[in-house]
Structure 1
Amino acid sequence: MTGATEAVVAASETFLGLLSDQQRQRAVYDRDDTDTLAGWTNLPVGREQDRNGVGLRDLNEEQRAAAMAVADAVLSDEGFEELRAVVAAGNVLNERGGGNTSFGSELFFFAFFGEPDLADRFTVQIGGHHLAVTTTYDGGRVMPTPQFTGVDPRAFEVSGGRVEPMRDEAEAVFDLLAALGERTRDGARIDGEFAEILVGPGEDGTFPEEQEGVRVSDLPAEQRQMVSEAVRAWVGDSDERVADALMAQYEAEFDRTYVGWAGSTDRDEPGSYVRIDGPRLWIEFSNQAQTGSGDELHYHSVYRDKQRDYGLVPRGEQR
């Protein structure tokens, strides 16, 4: 995956080269500053800077274009379009809230942990309301987790066109649940209520000890394929070369991966919750009941790799 790293290094060097000394100091952190790296959140942005890095609001037009080129290099075409749509949703909230300064397309931030380099480890972090993209590069190794994606409102119009930033994710998980037979679906139910995702911001490493739900390898081929499609809805936001390699690894572990749900199997019901839990893979999707957009619900989700979040290498494995 050297090509993926090369593209991000080139775009990052261009962006950083356009910054003033003061802006660069805000954008670049020590690569081993793990506490700051882990300090991401999905909450609205405060009036004072409360995200890592330099914000779009502090950049001129040329610098903003270069920042978005970094995001484009980090993500797949689908992932980049989703990022742009989540950013656009912030503008909708801003308008509906009468100019609420916690929302808007200017309130997204770009941070680098370590200098972008083809050989040495560095991390690119992009954050704002309902968005936290953290991708670590270590030579040929690339790890795009943790990744938080949410959206409020779920759907809106821009220039006369309908935008649904997380339609693919929602359709993938709820179509999968609908395809399960009643007996299998009952067996996949997780006890309890989940008003929020479990392993979100500030919850690194707090995965449940016991896996719950139905084992993917016990499902018929068509339903296993639907699980793959659901997983790719998140993993596929990364550069295609990165996503393909990860999908192969996650699918190879479907005999130890479980799908579970709680609350409801209705995509329009507040409190509906879906989980995909493997030896490494962790995906959560939650319908949030509280919203500032006027809609009855909105989405939160997280994609993590239990062994490699932030690019960590499992003990005993050579770098």
Structure 2
Amino acid sequence: MKSKIYLLFLLVALGACKKSTSTSSGGTTTSSASVTALNCSAASFSALATVNVAYSGTATVGYTGGNAVAYTAGTAISSTGVTGLTATLVAGTLASGAGNLSYTITGTPTTTGTATFPVTFGGQTCSFALTVSAATTSTCTGTQIEQLVCAANTFLGSLSTSQQASTVLAYSQTNAIKWSNLPCGSSCRVGIQFSTLSAAQLAYAKLVVAKAMGTQSGTGYSQVMQILAADDVLGTQQSGYSSGTYFISFLGTPSTTGTWQLQFGGHHLAVNLTFKAGVVAGASPFFIGVEPKTWTSSGTTYAPLAANQSAMLAILSSMSTTELATAKLSATFSDVLLGPGSDGKFPASKLGIKASTLTTAQKTLILNAIKLWVQNVDDASATSLLSTYTTELDNTYISYSGNTTLANNADYIRIDGPSVWIEFVCQSGVVYKNEIHYHSVYRDHTRDYGGSFSF
């Protein structure tokens, strides 16, 4: 009898052990590895895919709610739609919170179109898509700026003569400052509209943006693609909003030696990156906003500016009652102060609490927040800018207006340093009238538009 009981106990134990790991289309992971959301729609790729050309690259898929558990490499996932490719999860360890999964993609795509990879990981499922374009004569290699210029030339090479004329414009102050966060189409910005491009042309345009903006999930290219997706959500509620109503232009000819500006924007977005002699001379003005501030699509929840709001909130939450009283502004702000049309209009004096009076931990929170905006450029340029802002941190001021929760209409916070300027404000919804949405702008006192113009 005792031997039977022992055998039964052993079988139950073996069954429990067998269930301790789970195999999914995302790979084999421990059952305790979990995330709260996968962000497949903002997946970024290390290389462009071309039909009938062997592909070897990496897909980066962001996640939130990671629980710091290690996971093993996955099994190959075959692409659907465009076939011939496989994606395989790279082994790693989840961050505690937000992070990235990496998938190696190999194979040879058989047709043009979209190669879709359905993945399941940590209890979440989504699909990311890689655009496969027609063959071109250009393969982009070299330094970051060389790859960017190559991507720009590839995009321009796919356009007709008239389309090129709409895309490459004179490098002038008049063109440089013509941007807006409003849904005003071509009346308030320059360039060629996304909705007029073919699928291949659109893929090339997005590759330019991806090469110019950082590789981090949730910032840079990943963030702006989610802002475009938010406009598609708005379009389901009210006409006039669409990811197709965004514009891209080159002010001056893209090169590794000259001066030129990449401008990309539309509703709630303005990217202005200025290049001089092969380096980023200015990453601002940079406007980001979003409505709705969060939504769910195909089981995945998106919140493009949630990290920005959380980072600013962390700064205010760290302050004592006395510190908050010093940081409080008397004015009320219904929008950012230095939005479109306000170039060079920085306040004559700095207001709020000086960072030099704060603790080391509080200073770290300020730098963590600044980093989220500065990562709108390639990683090396972002690191350089952040180094400058770190050096100037003690002479940087924090101020706010409204409530410290950053959750109500007219709640506002500002970071104002010798160089860096960041504003973040809450507004009542325009389409989703019962919800709050966000506006934010990043500027630099001396580096806006690469310091090329006087205001």
TM-score normalised to structure 2 length: 0.66
SS at match of 2:407: coil
* Contact 1:270 1:297 (8 Å CA) reproduced: yes
User: Partner letter of residue 259 of structure 2?
Assistant: R
1:200 aligned to 2:339?
yes
* Contact 1:87 1:105 (8 Å CA) reproduced: yes
- Say which of 89, 92, 109 aligns to 2:233: 92
Deviation (angstroms), 1:140 = 3.7
Q: 1:218 to 1:3 in 2, by over 3 A?
A: farther
**1:10-29 correspondence to structure 2 within 5 Å:** 10-29=150-169
1:218 aligned to 2:351?
no
- Say which of 268, 290, 294 aligns to 1:151: 290
CA RMSD of aligned residues (A): 1.6
- Say which of 440, 443, 448 aligns to 1:301: 440
1:44 aligned to 2:183?
yes
Deviation (angstroms), 1:191 = 1.1
Residues 196-236 of structure 1, C-alpha deviations (whole Å, 9 max, x = no match): 11111000000111100111121101000000001001002
SS at match of 1:212: coil
Q: Take 2:231 and 2:453, find their aligned partners in 1: how far apart are those partners?
A: 37
Residues 247-278 of structure 1, C-alpha deviations (whole Å, 9 max, x = no match): 00011111211011001111221110000001
Q: Take 1:256 and 1:141, find their aligned partners in 2: how far apart are those partners?
A: 27
User: Partner letter of residue 257 of structure 2?
Assistant: A
Q: Take 1:10 and 1:217, find their aligned partners in 2: how far apart are those partners?
A: 44
SS at match of 1:249: helix
Deviation (angstroms), 1:7 = 2.4
User: Partner letter of residue 80 of structure 1?
Assistant: Y
SS at match of 1:207: coil
Q: Take 1:291 and 1:180, find their aligned partners in 2: how far apart are those partners?
A: 32
Deviation (angstroms), 1:294 = 3.9
Alignment length (residue pairs): 309
* Contact 2:180 2:188 (8 Å CA) reproduced: no
Query: Gaps spanning 5+ residues in structure 1: where?
Result: none
1:183 aligned to 2:328?
no
Query: Gaps spanning 5+ residues in structure 2: where?
Result: 1-141
* Contact 1:52 1:127 (8 Å CA) reproduced: no
**1:159-170 correspondence to structure 2 within 5 Å:** 159-170=298-309
1:9 aligned to 2:180?
no
Q: Is the strand fraction higher in 1 or 2?
A: 2
SS at match of 2:399: strand
1:66 aligned to 2:204?
yes
SS at match of 1:96: coil
* Contact 2:258 2:277 (8 Å CA) reproduced: yes
- Which stretch has the larger CA shift, 306-315 or 11-20? 306-315
Which has the greater radius of gyration? 2
Q: Take 1:153 and 1:19, find their aligned partners in 2: how far apart are those partners?
A: 34
TM-score normalised to structure 1 length: 0.93
Residues 41-63 of structure 1, C-alpha deviations (whole Å, 9 max, x = no match): 000134x6542100111000000
Q: Take 2:402 and 2:150, find their aligned partners in 1: how far apart are those partners?
A: 45
* Percent identity of paired positions between Structure 1 and Structure 2: 34
Q: Take 1:140 and 1:255, find their aligned partners in 2: how far apart are those partners?
A: 31
Residues 131-182 of structure 1, C-alpha deviations (whole Å, 9 max, x = no match): 0000011124302111000001100112221000101110000111011111
Q: Is the helix fraction higher in 1 or 2?
A: 1
Q: Which residue of 2 aligns with 1:107?
A: 245
